[in-house]
Structure 1
Amino acid sequence: MQQEGCVIVTGAAGNLGRATVGLLAAQGLRLFCVDRTREALDDLLRSLPADAEASPFVAQNLGDPLFAQAMADAAVTRYGGIDALVNTVGGFATGPVGSQTLDQWELMMTLNARVALLTSIAVLPVMQAAHYGRIVHIAAAPGLKAGANQAAYAASKAAVMRLTESLAAEHRRHRITANCILPGTIDTPQNRAAMPDAKVSDWVAPEAIARLIAFLISPQAAVVTGGAIPATGLE
């Protein structure tokens, strides 16, 4: 990892974002933590070691190109560059194709695909100028094959995967890698509440996915690009 830049983590105060920030902070990386409210970010920063180098940035809507660009500009102002983008922002909604599908489609395309696109667009010029960068998005297995009631969600995650592939192909010459992760069900308090009868032992801890993210943004992962990497197995 180049030392003059930083790692942007979007959705930093969420379950996966928080696990990722905690691990990367422990590794001594400089972090630019992005979420929708200052309160959530302040709580995140209080959980980090005292010597962690992490800055908060409030972006209420990364589906707006102005917010996405402001994020990148602020990261460069604070740290001088952007080594990696870890985008954990996303949403989940299901339902059959019918009269309500359009609203769900637009929501999923915004939270999952549009945010991935706009955050990538915002960081790419900085990474191109540095001739170095790592981009990691979160996709999902339904992006490979949709099931019933998954049309909007699956289509949005498929869009993330195709975006990732294009980014990887376009920016190899700039030493910029782009990958996406396909987690299984993540073990979070929200998922446990929503699925009280589920077999939790088959779920994936956010910390396990964070370790995969840490590898993908590291110099050791320079040969890994354009991947849609499953993260569904047991530890």
Structure 2
Amino acid sequence: MPDTRRVILVTGAAGNLGRATLACLAREGSALAAADRTGDVGSLLPVGLDEPAAHLALPGLDLLDAASCEAGIARVMARFGRLDGVAQTVGGFAMQPIAEAGPMEWEAMFRLNLLSTLNIFRAAITVMRPRGRGSLCAVGALAALKAPASMGPYAASKSAVLRLVESYAEELRGTGLRVNAVLPTTMDTPQNRAAMPGADPSGWVRPEAVGQVIAFLLSDAAAAVSGACVPAACHG
């Protein structure tokens, strides 16, 4: 009997948001391809999967390298024969006043946030478009809508991600492919708590909540949604 589960690729699978997104998708019964630049294969697939062998771990996937992305997509196709969705959770954050941020800092943010998304989306769309269906979700940031102080390079790079999503959505209109983005506020992660010990995390959004938004945007329930940039914030 053919496997009819949706096949979803999650990048940044070893990160906080990647793990949370994998868990959400696993509960929905998706077949998962968990990709990360790390070589720790065991950490990529969620604990408690009923059938770990039914999923695929992709360690060593470098989203800054277009060829690596193409090779990763080829492995997904070889394993499952199709690709239904991509959750692109890889990105970078830096806080620095514009007067102190040189070309290297600006380039680093655009590479980590924009180029990573462009590379994996281009590779995925190549195999998804012939099937006439599929969904891609990027991670932007609310800071992309209104940049706070000391976040110029970060906010600009995340704004570029949103423009990429909007442009792709228009170019793919009528093909059966959808492209959206989720815009989290500060996420409640151990790293953010350590970096901002004086902050109040009660207003931060949990990675699990953001993962649920990503899972929805990738699902058939969001079949009418493309080109959307959906805020994800804590509401109490």
TM class, shorter-chain normalised?
Answer: over 0.9
1:192 maps to 193
Residue matched to 2:88? 87
Give the AA of the match of 1:190: Q
Q: Helix, strand or coil for the counterpart of 2:45?
A: helix
Q: How does 1:3-22 map to 2 (within 5 A)?
A: 3=4, 6-22=7-23
Segments of structure 1 that go 5 or more residues without pairing to the other structure are: none
Structure 2, unaligned runs of 5 or more: none
1:162 aligns with 2:166: no
- Residue 177 of structure 1 aligns to a residue whose secondary structure is strand
Distance in 1, matches of 2:61 and 2:225, equals 32
Structure 1 position 128 matched with structure 2 position 129: yes
Whole-angstrom distance in 2 between the partners of 1:3 and 1:215: 19
Secondary structure of 2:75's aligned partner: helix
CA distance in 1, matches of 2:143, 2:224: 26
What SS does the corresponding residue of 1:45 show, helix, strand or coil? coil
Q: Distance in 2 between matches of 1:112 and 1:7?
A: 20
Match of 1:23 in 2: 24
Could you say which residue in structure 2 is the equivalent of 1:226? 227
Deviating above 6 A after TM superposition, structure 1's stretches of 4 or more consecutive aligned residues are none
Give the TM-score normalised by the residue count of structure 1.
0.94
Measured in 2, the distance between the counterparts of 1:156 and 1:220 equals: 29
% identical equivalent positions = 41
Deviates more, 1:145-154 or 1:131-140: 145-154
TM-score by length of 2: 0.93
Partner of 1:114: 115
Q: CA RMSD in A?
A: 1.6
Query: What letter corresponds to residue 39 of structure 2 in structure 1?
Result: R
Worse-superposed segment, 137-146 or 52-61: 52-61
Q: Deviations over 1:84-141 (max 9, x none)?
A: 0100000000212236421111111111000111111001121110100100000011
Q: Measured at CA, do residues 46 and 146 of structure 1 come closer, stay the same or move farther in structure 2, by a change above 3 Å?
A: closer
Q: What code does the residue aligned with 1:55 have? A: L
Is 1:43 aligned to residue 65 of structure 2?
no
Aligned with 2:87: secondary structure?
strand
CA distance in 1, matches of 2:64, 2:83: 20
Q: Count matched residues.
A: 233
Distance 1:46-1:132 versus aligned 2 partners, 3 A rule: closer
Retained in 1: the 8 A contact 2:61–2:69? no
